[in-house]
Chain A
Amino acid sequence: DAGVTQSPTHLIKTRGQQVTLRCSPKSGHDTVSWYQQALGQGPQFIFQYYEEEERQRGNFPDRFSGHQFPNYSSELNVNALLLGDSALYLCASSLQRDTLSEQYFGPGTRLTVT
């Protein structure tokens, strides 16, 4: 049973560039959430996708956008990168109708903005 996978593992970008991160949910899951974890901090919720729509959003600017595909996989896009966007980006998946369930996390993508 495949768990949550994310790609790439590491990424280095220059300030002002754009980046796309990818996530495949755990088999059987239909909901994907994205979190940003700055060094030494707890993860911060960015947004959640279900049925190819953004269902919930945290306190992040519009530079952060996402997409969910029919196979439930998801992308996180960040435009006009800032140095402060350097962080570990975590993807989590869950099953929407199983309201008692926890979220399963992937290994993350480490983004460095120089």
Chain B
Amino acid sequence: AQKVTQAQTEISVVEKEDVTLDCVYETRDTTYYLFWYKQPPSGELVFLIRRNSFDEQNEISGRYSWNFQKSTSSFNFTITASQVVDSAVYFCALSERYGNNRLAFGKGNQVVVIP
């Protein structure tokens, strides 16, 4: 069964600091997709990034970057130079076999950016 663990609950940072969110996953499939979603107070989940199990290349997209390591089943996410608008709950999620398959979410990380 697929499982996603996000250990930290609430993280507070001062504006312009970097914040890294940890995610550990479990799956028996060799093909899977990992996602990070952002949930602002409005409640809507906003897609941020996606990675599939065949591509461990780490990338940077604007102020977002991620570190995908299959050896440790981790998919960590970093926001560089945080801004107040980054305050939200961030979820790591996993889907097996296909990117548009059912998602298993972690419990989320509440990020508070202090001006």
Hey, which bits of chain A sit against chain B, CB under 8 A? 31, 33, 35, 40-45, 48, 56, 58, 88, 90, 92, 94-96, 98-108, 110
**Segment with Cβ contacts to A, from B14-22, B62-70, B78-86, B102-110:** B102-110
B58-112 residues at the A interface, CB under 8 angstroms: 91, 93, 98-108
- 21 CB contacts below 8 A, A to B, read A42-B93, A42-B105, A42-B107, A43-B103, A43-B105, A45-B103, A48-B102, A56-B101, A94-B100, A96-B100, A98-B100, A99-B99, A100-B52, A100-B100, A102-B35, A102-B47, A105-B45, A105-B47, A106-B44, A107-B44, A108-B44
Residues of B within 8 A of A96 (CB): 100
Contact of A108 among B35, B43, B103 (CB under 8 A): B43
Contact of B107 among A31, A41, A56, A98 (CB under 8 A): A41
Residues of B within 8 A of A110 (CB): 43
- Report which residue of A90, A95, A100, A103 has the largest number of chain B beta carbons within 10 angstroms of its beta carbon: A103
Residues of B within 8 A of A106 (CB): 44
Interface presence of B30 (CB below 8 A):
no
- Say whether A100 contacts B99, CB under 8 Å: yes
Interface presence of B42 (CB below 8 A):
yes
Q: How far is it, in angstroms, between the C-alpha of A42 and the C-alpha of B6 when the chains are bound?
A: 10
Residues of B within 8 A of A56 (CB): 101-102
Q: How far is it, in angstroms, between the C-alpha of A58 and the C-alpha of B102 when the chains are bound?
A: 9
Residues of A within 8 A of B101 (CB): 56
- Say whether A33 contacts B99, CB under 8 Å: no
Residues of A within 8 A of B93 (CB): 42
- Report which residue of B4, B42, B50, B102 has the largest number of chain A beta carbons within 10 angstroms of its beta carbon: B102
- Beyond A42-B105, A42-B106, A43-B91, whether A102 also contacts B100 by CB under 8 A is yes
Residues of B within 8 A of A48 (CB): 102
Minimum CB–CB distance for B15 against chain A, Å = 25
- Say whether A105 contacts B91, CB under 8 Å: no
